[in-house]
Structure 1
């Protein structure tokens, strides 16, 4: 039998001869689907260079070493997000994913900066959830200076270097929460606001959007000064108890930061009022139960599976592009949950 040639393979695969040559010699320059299609066709027609093609396809499927820093593993939202990220990393992203995922119980800027620098030494790209702080910004600059791109998750981060972002539009989250109060509260009054930490830029944007809606649509509401829970359930409970003590006629509570389980415990300790509305952030078992029993009227949440997929995809793109290529940014649509759709 006549030995099949590169031209025969190109005709059978319906690609150009130059594409076959690039699969053989420069696989990174050819899309994954095309590489694998050419290889499958080569095996089908008995192409003499199938072994070389297999080597090239494998070479083009380099392993992506990705690092992710999440916050406190004891918090259900981050546990669930970590599980979704690990599941997503099992998929093939033009090469296997070698994922290092860490939970940080110590959220001090010194510890976050140290772990970011440490993970940057063993990763091709790193994503993290962190509060804005000069020490964290310096660590970002150190890591990107070594050629490793950084992507912020949930809360945007700034540094001298380009910093990517994957998350929802926090400003629109705030306006959506305000819309809920405006349309569900019968008699406008005081609304309490909880944030985890004023250095989380997403929570600051939440509050900004929240206030902008009321300035535009309904100035009859009084928005109280936001109280920081420092991501602690115990502190959040204490803050909510203090709000009810100082503002007994408060008509609503917006929990836009951490510690929501403590806030829910405090809300359950006061008699339920039909004219009181509470809106929370992120859907997990505790907030789902609170929706069902009426403690919360609405929850705004990241879509975890899409969030995990976008995070891995963005890190791979950032790795391939390099830190000098510009920030990789992905804005996700958020989910809205009530007792009727959980």
Structure 2
């Protein structure tokens, strides 16, 4: 049994000691802690840093203004990505960093690489980006490092010594989870199809590998067909799913490792297969919530976007302050219609 009496209690910083460390009045500290107006961004940051330093037993790094950061996310990638951008804005409003979210053309590594390079000379100190695994992106990240601009891979990783870390779920574990659910919950023996957004997201490859591995090892009666690409969008997944059902009407499950769940659901409904083919996708949104409730989807593999934004900013600030970065893997959450109430889109 866990000894709850020995669990350390986190120290709560008092207003007078925060004021002394931050060199501000107690009234200013009160305004910051209660999120009131009439406090400059630099003062707000100084107060929050002092509070964190006292509670964590650390010495804050003096800084006259918030860090400048950019976040690059793919455009037209669905409500979960849009929500992630709003989460970054909320983190930026806390005062430790000014954060600009920029949407780039989806699945276009040359565009992403150019936008990353455009940060040079703009006073940008750190960048978080949903990585495309492409040599041009790798080269841009190395160039940013040469200019002391810290970079972090967000939601999808990249193999590079130039990034300070990765924030997101363990995508192979997510794929294994989807495969396990398929093997346990599918209507019976039969092939499983995997829909991918292409080969530029390492996260998609890792999810596919994880799903194939668990099905091959524990559920050999559910063979995996070739991977089909719907370009990570609604229309592409709709057309690809219709073609898939035409060629393989015997499939018992579809695992969509990326976005565009609406296209898969539309194809299943139009073909009359929505009730007999299991569908698992990613990220809880108002749309996927409705699909769980009406039975169009059976499970959603979810990652908390609010936590991803906060952890990304924390990791970049730690790196900028020359502190060690620990890999921060987010939990893989499983959402079904039976546990959906109380689940958050975060």
Interval of TM-score (by shorter of Structure 1 and Structure 2)? 0.7 to 0.9
Deviation at residue 258 of structure 1 after TM alignment: 2.5
Q: Is contact 2:76-2:106 (8 Å) kept?
A: no
Moved more, 33-42 or 119-128: 33-42
Partners in 2 of 1:193 and 1:43 — Cα distance? 59
Partners in 1 of 2:14 and 2:144 — Cα distance? 29
| Aligned partner of 1:335 among 333, 336, 341 | 333
Say whether 1:285 aligns with 2:286: yes
Say whether 1:66 aligns with 2:64: no
Partners in 2 of 1:41 and 1:132 — Cα distance? 46
Deviation at residue 312 of structure 1 after TM alignment: 1.4
Partners in 2 of 1:236 and 1:182 — Cα distance? 23
Deviation at residue 317 of structure 1 after TM alignment: 1.3
Deviation at residue 328 of structure 1 after TM alignment: 5.4
Deviation at residue 274 of structure 1 after TM alignment: 4.7
Partners in 1 of 2:108 and 2:187 — Cα distance? 42
Question: What is residue 36 of structure 1 aligned with on the other side?
Answer: 18
Which structure has the larger Rg?
1
Q: Could you say what secondary structure the match of 2:272 adopts?
A: coil
Deviation at residue 33 of structure 1 after TM alignment: 9.4
Deviation at residue 161 of structure 1 after TM alignment: 2.3
CA RMSD of aligned residues (A): 2.6
Q: Segments of 4+ in structure 1 off by > 3 A?
A: 31-35, 37-44, 57-62, 272-275, 325-328
Please give the TM-score of this superposition, normalised by the length of structure 1: 0.79
Q: Is contact 1:65-1:99 (8 Å) kept?
A: yes
Partners in 1 of 2:162 and 2:14 — Cα distance? 30
The CA deviation string for residues 78-105 of structure 1, in whole angstroms up to 9 with x for no partner, is 111111111122124xxx3111110113
Moved more, 153-162 or 204-213: 153-162
Partners in 1 of 2:277 and 2:14 — Cα distance? 54
| Aligned partner of 2:85 among 70, 82, 102 | 82
Question: What is residue 3 of structure 1 aligned with on the other side?
Answer: none
The CA deviation string for residues 231-264 of structure 1, in whole angstroms up to 9 with x for no partner, is 2221111110011100111100000012222112
Structure 2: any 5+ residue segments left out of the alignment?
1-12, 27-42, 48-61, 341-346
Question: What is residue 272 of structure 2 aligned with on the other side?
Answer: 271
Q: Is contact 1:89-1:97 (8 Å) kept?
A: yes
CA gap 1:77/1:261 in 2 versus in 1, 3 angstroms: same
Structure with the higher helix share, 1 or 2? 1
Q: Could you say what secondary structure the match of 1:254 adopts?
A: strand
CA gap 1:170/1:245 in 2 versus in 1, 3 angstroms: same
Q: Could you say what secondary structure the match of 1:221 adopts?
A: coil
Q: Could you say what secondary structure the match of 1:78 adopts?
A: helix
CA gap 1:68/1:37 in 2 versus in 1, 3 angstroms: same
Q: Is contact 2:153-2:163 (8 Å) kept?
A: no
Q: Is contact 1:170-1:205 (8 Å) kept?
A: yes
Alignment map for 1:155-170 (pairs within 5 Å): 155-170=156-171
Deviation at residue 276 of structure 1 after TM alignment: 2.2
Partners in 1 of 2:159 and 2:337 — Cα distance? 37
Question: What is residue 312 of structure 1 aligned with on the other side?
Answer: 313
Q: Is contact 2:77-2:106 (8 Å) kept?
A: no
CA gap 1:301/1:141 in 2 versus in 1, 3 angstroms: same
Question: What is residue 97 of structure 2 aligned with on the other side?
Answer: 97
Question: What is residue 241 of structure 1 aligned with on the other side?
Answer: 242
Question: What is residue 252 of structure 1 aligned with on the other side?
Answer: 253
